[in-house]
Amino acid sequence: MMLNKLKNAWQNIRQLSGDDAYERYLAHHNEFHADKNDAEPPLSREAFFKEWQTSKWKGVKRCC
Amino acid sequence: MHKNLKLIIWLTVGILGIFALSTIALNRGESINALWLITAAICIYAIAYRFYAAWIAAKVLVTDETRATPAERLDNGRDFIPTNKWVVFGHHFAAIAGPGPLVGPTLAAQFGYLPGTLWILIGAVLGGAVQDMVTLFFSTRRDGRSLGQMARDEIGVIGGTAALVGTFLIMIILIAVLGLVVVNAMKHSPWATSTVAATIPIAMIIGFYMRTIRPGRVLEASAIGVALLLFSVVAGGWINHHETLRVYFDYDGLPLAFAIIAYGFAAAVLPVWLLLAPRDYLSTYMKLGTICLLAVAIFILRPNIHMPAITQFVDGTGPIFGGKLFPFVFITIACGAISGFHALIASGTTPKLLANERDIRMIGYGAMLLESFVAIMAMIAATVLEPGVFFAINSPAGVVGKEAIDAVAKINSWGFAVTVEQMNQLAKDMGESSLFARTGGAPSLAVGMASIFGSAFGKNLLALWYHFAIMFEAIFILTTLDAGTRVGRFMLQDMLGNFNKKLGETSYMPSVIFTSAIVVAGWGYFLYIGVIDPNGGVNILWPLFGIANQMLAAIALCVATGILVKNGKLKYAWITALPLTWLVVVTTTAAWQKIFSADIRIGFFAAANDLSAKLAAGLIPADKALIAPKLIFNQQLDAYLTLFFVAVLWIVIADMLWVCAKHLGGKSVLPTSETAHVMTSLNDEWVRD
């Protein structure tokens, strides 16, 4: 019970910081794109992270 | 829970809130415990959240939990992702809470603790939190569109353009004033300067680590970075005590300003992964950690507030900035009460993560309440200082005199006790050579925080706590500076792209350099003037920033009011129309006074004319006569800028009223841009625990 809560909190921290962004992307890719015939292979961790970081800073992300 | 029991609990909260509020409002004794402010704040937030925000969500906006959000409908695994509500809350809060709620209340403390505190509380629950929540809601109903796009879609081209131009100009002023705050904290302080300088290579190391050594391992990298940052605070102390090394970090304001300008340009041109992204991680952890620490320390220590409830400076003669309580307290404290900038985060960024409309109240309204609470803590940290000390740190040399003896005499003449020995001892405790005339809020807040932390966690580390607080403020001020310059650059490229395709490409290097240089030159100019201005610069820049930020808030509230009326909710439109009216009154009055007041400490033209006259009569010493023409030009420029802000505001209001009148008169207006209802199919257990 307690352990589950801690696990949950850790998951949230990972998600909040973007630590698990690649795993989430892979899960999304496997669920929606992998079964199509012309599916492209998923990005590598490095390539994904590059793209993720660039797109994250395209707009207004920080305030006064 | 039993109905009666609930009623009793809420009645108790209400009575406690009223009691705490009247205690802080009516107290005229020597001092008051900070816990009263905290109690009043928490009770007011709880009641507002439970009743007002819930009523808005249920009756006015009618949030619909069966409706699929953009995050669900447009889920692409990248920017549109249905996300756990606590994670969204964390993202949203980290994005909206910057240095604003720390600096504003500290400056406004010159009026006493009461006016600022009341405005932070009332402004947040009736204005700021409502603005954030309705903007989040309307953007969620429109595929997460930005405020500018919504203004264009719902009101028209004028509103949209005004929002865009307003954002750009705010950014310029905001960065300049924040840069000034950092410069005033670093000048002639080898410890602060070396620590702040060390944050740059630390960010780069972390950037490399996340990019190439262990790609995407964000938490690991951040942990290393935070450890390095804490070490840099300690190392700064060693440098400060080292006879030869300390000289390399001991600078006047002007070289520091140029260093920040050069840094800003480099940060905007360099790739995000190298500097901006890692710095942002570090600053976010530092920010959240320090805010929690401050809250814990205030609870443990329960410090007494020494600032009077209201000072004589409500008459407009305040040393930090000129101007009467009305309207200037409402301009000085923008973030923490109502901040237009939040509308840019609440539209565009946060809606793309929101999994269910039910959570709009918690994320939109709740996060703003938390930011307001941060502002209350900043107010406490500033007012636990002896008022004499507070004014000695914050009064610019142009007002109280350059020499310590003159400054102390002047402050004593206002009725606030402070001595030169006391200030010297304080500076020594904090590991600084002098704390006089460090206008801007960061140093006095750091002294306040250091004394709170020191009393709660051990007094022998005062200097360390002080420089920790300076580092903490500097690191996220520099993040705002990086991010702001970059956003300004994107906006400029976007605009220029209409004339020349090549200039609009965000990866075309000549355009990147050209547009970054323009943005940096824009804020660099204001920063430069702020540093050479003997009256501290904050006196000019902060009100300008406040007016600009409130103008953006007014635009956001205009858009919201327009949408409410168009959606047939005229009888509820007051929820946004009320704060809008107040903001319009406040901004217009403040702008009017800044432009036309005959008082040279308030009116831009009056100050320019006064200086010209003195210059012509040869009353200004030679060294100051050199910079006088620049100051005169700047005052005039600021006056026209203020005029421009108010003009934009009134144009948007007129546009909104025109659209509302046409709609109510049965004529056709732009159709609503709300997307159609799609049933949600998310099993939402996982996003709501």
Place of tokens 């409908």: B73
Q: How far is A40 from chain B (nearest CA, A)?
A: 15
Q: Is the distance from CB of B281 to CB of B218 less than 8 angstroms?
A: yes
Could you tell me the pLDDT band of residue B2, with boundaries at 50, 70 and 90? confident
With helix as H, strand as E and coil as C, how does B281-337 read? HHHHHHHHHHHHHHHHHHHHHCCEECCCCCCHHHHCCCCCCCCCHHHHHHHHCCCCC
Pairwise CB contact (< 8 Å): B216 & A64: no
Pairwise CB contact (< 8 Å): A17 & B218: yes
Q: Is the predicted pLDDT of residue A64 greater than 70, yes or no? A: yes
Pairwise CB contact (< 8 Å): A64 & B277: no
Cα distance between residue B423 and residue B410, in whole Å: 14
Q: pLDDT tens for residues B370-380?
A: 999 999 999 99
Give me the helix-helix angle, B218-241 and B276-301, nearest 10°. 70
CA torsion through residues A46, A48, A51, A52, sign: negative
Q: Which of B127, B636, B655 is nearest to B340 (CA)?
A: B127
**Of A8, A17, A63, which is closest to B342 when you measure between CB atoms?**
A63
Phi and psi at residue B192, to the nearest 5°:
-60, -45
What residues of chain A have any CB closer than 8 angstroms to a CB in chain B?
Answer: 8, 12-19, 21-22, 24-25, 27-29, 32, 45-46, 48-64
**Partners of residue B87 in chain A, C-beta under 8 Å:** 12, 15-16
State whether residue B553 sits within 8 Å of chain A by CB.
no
Q: Is residue B30 exposed (0-12), middle (13-18) or buried (19+ Cβ within 10 Å)?
A: exposed
Pairwise CB contact (< 8 Å): B77 & A16: no
Mean pLDDT to the nearest integer, B529-547: 90
Contacts of B549 (CB under 8 A, 6+ apart): A64, B100, B170, B174, B334, B335, B339, B340, B341
Q: Is the predicted pLDDT of residue B689 greater than 60, yes or no? A: no
Cα distance between residue B124 and residue B590, in whole Å: 20
Q: Is the distance from CB of B48 to CB of B130 less than 8 angstroms?
A: no
CATH assignment of B62-188+251-664, given 1.20.58.340, 1.20.1740.10, 3.30.450.40, 3.40.5.50? Answer: 1.20.1740.10
Residues 590-649 of B with CB under 8 A from A: none
Could you tell me the pLDDT band of residue B685, with boundaries at 50, 70 and 90? low
Mutate to test the interface with A, among B75, B76, B86 (most CBs of A within 10 A): B86
Q: pLDDT tens for residues B402-417?
A: 899 999 999 999 999 9
Could you tell me the pLDDT band of residue B53, with boundaries at 50, 70 and 90? very high
Q: Is the distance from CB of A22 to CB of B77 less than 8 angstroms?
A: no
**Partners of residue B90 in chain A, C-beta under 8 Å:** 12, 16
**Of B84, B100, B345, which is closest to A60 when you measure between CB atoms?**
B345
Q: Is the distance from CB of B112 to CB of B310 less than 8 angstroms?
A: yes
Contacts of B480 (CB under 8 A, 6+ apart): A62, A63, A64, B98, B99, B174, B175, B178
Question: Which whole-number Å values give the CA distances from B201 to B35, B82, B225, B532, B602, in the listed order?
Answer: 40, 35, 10, 29, 41
**Of A17, A46, A61, which is closest to B219 when you measure between CB atoms?**
A17
Look at residue B457 in the predicted model and tell me its pLDDT: 79
**Partners of residue A19 in chain B, C-beta under 8 Å:** 216-219
Q: Is the predicted pLDDT of residue B437 greater than 80, yes or no? A: yes
Pairwise CB contact (< 8 Å): A60 & B487: yes
One-letter amino acid at B295 equals: A
Look at residue B8 in the predicted model and tell me its pLDDT: 95
Q: Is the predicted pLDDT of residue B530 greater than 60, yes or no? A: yes
State whether residue B343 sits within 8 Å of chain A by CB.
no
Pairwise CB contact (< 8 Å): B483 & A57: yes
How many Cβ contacts (< 8 angstroms) between chains A and B? Answer: 117
Q: pLDDT tens for residues B321-353?
A: 999 999 999 999 999 999 998 998 999 889 999
Q: Which of B118, B549, B530, B175 is nearest to B331 (CA)?
A: B549
Could you tell me the pLDDT band of residue B426, with boundaries at 50, 70 and 90? very high
Closest chain A CA to residue B549: A64
Look at residue A30 in the predicted model and tell me its pLDDT: 85
Pairwise CB contact (< 8 Å): B272 & A57: yes
Q: Which of A44, A7, A64 is nearest to B174 (CA)?
A: A64
**Partners of residue B347 in chain A, C-beta under 8 Å:** none
Q: pLDDT tens for residues B558-583?
A: 999 999 999 999 999 999 999 999 99
Cα distance between residue B146 and residue B128, in whole Å: 18
**Of B98, B218, B486, which is closest to A64 when you measure between CB atoms?**
B98
Could you tell me the pLDDT band of residue B263, with boundaries at 50, 70 and 90? very high
Mean pLDDT to the nearest integer, B609-626: 91
Mutate to test the interface with A, among B87, B102, B332, B350 (most CBs of A within 10 A): B87
Contacts of A44 (CB under 8 A, 6+ apart): none
State whether residue B242 sits within 8 Å of chain A by CB.
no
Cα distance between residue B415 and residue B391, in whole Å: 11
Q: Between residues A29 and B313, which one has the greater pLDDT?
A: B313
**Of A15, A18, A63, which is closest to B96 when you measure between CB atoms?**
A63
One-letter amino acid at B637 equals: L
Mutate to test the interface with A, among B88, B168, B178, B273 (most CBs of A within 10 A): B273
Q: Is the predicted pLDDT of residue B687 greater than 60, yes or no? A: no
Pairwise CB contact (< 8 Å): B84 & A15: yes
Look at residue B202 in the predicted model and tell me its pLDDT: 96
Could you tell me the pLDDT band of residue A63, with boundaries at 50, 70 and 90? confident
Look at residue B403 in the predicted model and tell me its pLDDT: 92
State whether residue B335 sits within 8 Å of chain A by CB.
yes
Cα distance between residue B188 and residue B192, in whole Å: 9
State whether residue B342 sits within 8 Å of chain A by CB.
yes
Question: Which whole-number Å values give the CA distances from B195 to B113, B175, B240, B471, B619, in the listed order?
Answer: 32, 20, 10, 7, 41
**Of A14, A29, A49, which is closest to B219 when you measure between CB atoms?**
A14
Q: Average pLDDT of chain B?
A: 92
Mapping DSSP to helix (H, G, I), strand (E, B) and coil, where does residue B499 land? Answer: coil
Q: Domain spans of chain B?
A: 62-188+251-664
Look at residue A37 in the predicted model and tell me its pLDDT: 65
Share of chain B above pLDDT 90, in %: 74
Residues 527-546 of B with CB under 8 A from A: 545
Q: How far is B542 from chain A (nearest CA, A)?
A: 12
Q: pLDDT tens for residues B361-403?
A: 999 999 999 999 999 999 999 999 999 999 999 999 889 998 9
Look at residue B366 in the predicted model and tell me its pLDDT: 97
Question: What 8-state DSSP symbol labels residue B80?
Answer: S
Look at residue A31 in the predicted model and tell me its pLDDT: 81
Q: Is the distance from CB of B303 to CB of B524 less than 8 angstroms?
A: no
Q: How far is A7 from chain B (nearest CA, A)?
A: 12
List, as one string, the DSSP characters of B108-172. Answer: HGGG-HHHHHHHHHHHIIIIIHHHHHHHHHHHHTTTT--HHHHHHHHT-HHHHHHHHHHHHHHHH
Pairwise CB contact (< 8 Å): B210 & A49: yes
Mean pLDDT to the nearest integer, B303-308: 94
Look at residue B410 in the predicted model and tell me its pLDDT: 96
Q: How far is A6 from chain B (nearest CA, A)?
A: 13
Q: Does ipTM top 0.85?
A: yes
Pairwise CB contact (< 8 Å): A57 & B146: no
Q: Is the predicted pLDDT of residue B688 greater than 60, yes or no? A: no
Q: Between residues B443 and A56, which one has the greater pLDDT?
A: B443
State whether residue B685 sits within 8 Å of chain A by CB.
no
Burial B365-377 (b: 16+ CB within 10 A, else e): bbbbbbbbbbbbb
Mean pLDDT to the nearest integer, B146-156: 91
Look at residue B639 in the predicted model and tell me its pLDDT: 96
Q: pLDDT tens for residues B108-137?
A: 999 999 999 999 999 999 999 999 999 999
**Partners of residue B98 in chain A, C-beta under 8 Å:** 62-64
**Partners of residue A30 in chain B, C-beta under 8 Å:** none
Side-chain-facing half-sphere of B686: CA atoms under 13 Å: 6
Mapping DSSP to helix (H, G, I), strand (E, B) and coil, where does residue B317 land? Answer: coil
Pairwise CB contact (< 8 Å): B90 & A59: no
Q: pLDDT tens for residues B207-222?
A: 999 999 999 899 999 9
Question: What 8-state DSSP symbol labels residue B386?
Answer: -
Could you tell me the pLDDT band of residue B498, with boundaries at 50, 70 and 90? confident
Q: Which two tokens stand for residue B319?
A: 């040393």
Share of chain B above pLDDT 70, in %: 99
Mean pLDDT to the nearest integer, B665-677: 91
**Straight-line distance from the first to the last Cα atom of chain A, in angstroms, rounded to the nearest whole number:** 40
Q: Is the distance from CB of B555 to CB of B163 less than 8 angstroms?
A: yes
Mean pLDDT to the nearest integer, B214-243: 94
Numbers of helices and strands, H then E, in chain B: 29, 2
